């Protein structure tokens, strides 16, 4: 498969963002349009790279298809090469000569795929008429494999329905596995689940049926996670001490204000820290209400803004919790100065973060409250505090 050139990508997205004509025509003429259509009977020679609202292939592409679509990609004709699609909906009703790669919300296959398929989607359906010559690797919330798979079926699903024929092994992790019709597995039928397979009497298995218990977290992974968390605590403690050293008066003022109207400060900080999620929700609402012709240009314009906002929030989060941990250190050990209170508070919060049940509350409480305290001192109206004023105010 040939890779997408930078010029092709830039031309595709720039043309869409500038609002080029939406009149369907031959793909050779409209590969950068809002709607890319290859009509039945037409042939596109070579690879096609398309960025559009919708991509519809009723004819033939003699090469690969790489598509980024705001609504859907529908292949009713033939693609002799591979298909790579990033789109909410991918429908394959025709014939794909090689492999399929898809990331989106929904995948539907009723046609034939000459290679393997790798998909990450909320809903994936390989219908009874579908054929996948190679492996099927599917990660989804809900999936059904009801047709023919020439090799292995692998992946993770919450709900998986099986039928048809699988030429290799089945190795899946599922919450619920159901055999909905006659099923033939030439290799092993293996699954990880806490439940038994429903309808297993309709399955013919050439190898062994292996019910595996869900794997516990790997010891090395848990050790690496603990080490990573320790390094994060160490890094944030150094950042907190550096902040206190660089801006002692502002830091003491923020610490002193943590205990005053904490709910109000937490709400203010949460509004700022959660602003990327709020922006994503607003963007989704706008895209849902916007007409199809405007959805893709809006998406192209808004994604950089959301990414910039997320980067700003990440930078703020590195020092947002300083007032909270300093205030906590001063409350627990009243004789500590600014730096001692900051260090002790950071270590106390780090220990609580390790606890399995309440640990997740630490960032939700500490970061917004601290950022709200910072914002309360943004006008520079901090009192003339002594080095231990933060702890003095906490005693009051």
* Rounded-to-integer distance, Cα 339 and Cα 329, Å: 10
* Rounded-to-integer distance, Cα 196 and Cα 60, Å: 44
* Rounded-to-integer distance, Cα 393 and Cα 4, Å: 61
126-129 long-range Cβ contacts below 8 angstroms, 24+ apart: 128/163, 128/164
Q: Identify the top-confidence range among 31-35, 67-71, 101-105.
A: 101-105
pLDDT digits (tens, 9 = 90+) for 266-286: 999 999 999 999 988 888 888
Strand extents, DSSP E, the chain: 35-38, 43-45, 48-57, 60-62, 65-75, 78-79, 83-86, 89-92, 95-96, 100-109, 112-113, 117-126, 131-132, 136-145, 148-149, 153-166, 170-185, 189-192, 203-205, 209-212
pLDDT at 32 over 80: no
pLDDT digits (tens, 9 = 90+) for 318-361: 899 999 999 999 888 888 899 999 999 998 998 888 887 788 88
Q: 356 phi and psi, to 5 degrees?
A: -70, -30
Residue the block writes with tokens 């297993």: 200
Q: Regarding predicted confidence, which is higher, 21 or 180?
A: 180
**What pLDDT shows up at residue 135?**
96
* Rounded-to-integer distance, Cα 312 and Cα 125, Å: 40
pLDDT digits (tens, 9 = 90+) for 10-28: 333 333 333 333 333 343 4
> What three-state secondary structure class fits 1?
coil
Helix (H) or strand (E) holding 226: helix 219-246
Helix (H) or strand (E) holding 196: none
**What pLDDT shows up at residue 21?**
34
Those residues with Cβ within 8 angstroms of residue 211's Cβ, 6 or more apart along the chain or in another chain: 190, 191, 193, 196, 197
Residue 104: DSSP 8-state: E
Contact 254, 322 (CB under 8 A): yes
**What pLDDT shows up at residue 146?**
95
Q: Which residues pair with 48 in a beta bridge?
A: 65
pLDDT digits (tens, 9 = 90+) for 142-160: 999 999 999 999 999 999 9
> What three-state secondary structure class fits 377?
coil
Task: Grade residue 381 by pLDDT with cuts at 50, 70 and 90.
Answer: very low
């Amino acid at each position: 498969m040939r890779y997408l050139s930078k010029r092709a990508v830039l031309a595709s997205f720039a043309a869409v963002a500038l609002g080029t004509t939406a009149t369907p025509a031959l793909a050779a003429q409209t590969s950068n349009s809002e709607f890319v259509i290859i009509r039945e009977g037409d042939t596109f020679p070579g690879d096609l790279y398309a960025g559009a609202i919708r991509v519809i292939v009723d004819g033939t592409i003699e090469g690969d298809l790489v598509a980024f679509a705001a609504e859907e990609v529908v292949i009713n004709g033939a693609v002799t090469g591979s298909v790579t699609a990033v789109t909410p909906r991918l429908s394959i009703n025709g014939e794909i000569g090689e492999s399929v790669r898809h990331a989106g919300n929904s995948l539907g296959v009723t046609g034939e795929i000459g290679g393997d398929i790798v998909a990450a989607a909320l809903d994936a359906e390989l219908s009874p008429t579908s054929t996948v010559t190679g492996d099927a690797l599917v990660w989804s919330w809900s999936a059904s494999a009801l047709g023919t798979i020439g090799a292995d079926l692998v992946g993770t699903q919450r709900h998986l329905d099986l039928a048809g024929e699988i030429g290799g092994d089945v190795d899946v992790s599922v919450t619920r596995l159901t055999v909905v019709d006659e099923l033939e597995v030439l290799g092993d039928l293996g699954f990880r689940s806490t439940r038994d397979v429903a309808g297993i009497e309709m399955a013919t298995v050439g190898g062994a049926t292996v019910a595996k218990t869900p794997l516990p977290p790997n010891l090395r992974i848990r050790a690496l996670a603990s080490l990573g968390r320790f390094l994060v605590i160490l890094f944030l403690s150094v950042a907190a001490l550096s902040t206190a050293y660089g801006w002692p008066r502002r830091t003491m003022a923020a610490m002193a204000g943590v205990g005053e109207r904490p709910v109000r400060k937490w709400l203010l900080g949460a509004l700022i820290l959660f602003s990327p999620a709020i922006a994503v929700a607003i963007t989704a609402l706008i895209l849902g209400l916007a007409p199809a012709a405007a959805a893709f240009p809006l998406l192209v314009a808004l994604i950089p803004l959301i990414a910039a906002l997320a980067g700003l929030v990440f930078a703020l989060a590195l020092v947002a919790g300083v007032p909270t941990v300093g205030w906590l250190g001063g409350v627990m050990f009243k004789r500590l100065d600014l730096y001692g209170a900051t260090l002790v508070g950071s270590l106390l919060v780090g220990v609580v973060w390790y606890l399995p049940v309440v640990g997740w509350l630490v960032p939700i409480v500490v970061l917004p409250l601290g950022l709200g305290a910072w914002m309360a001192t943004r006008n520079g109206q901090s009192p003339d505090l002594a080095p231990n004023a933060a702890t003095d105010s906490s005693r009051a």
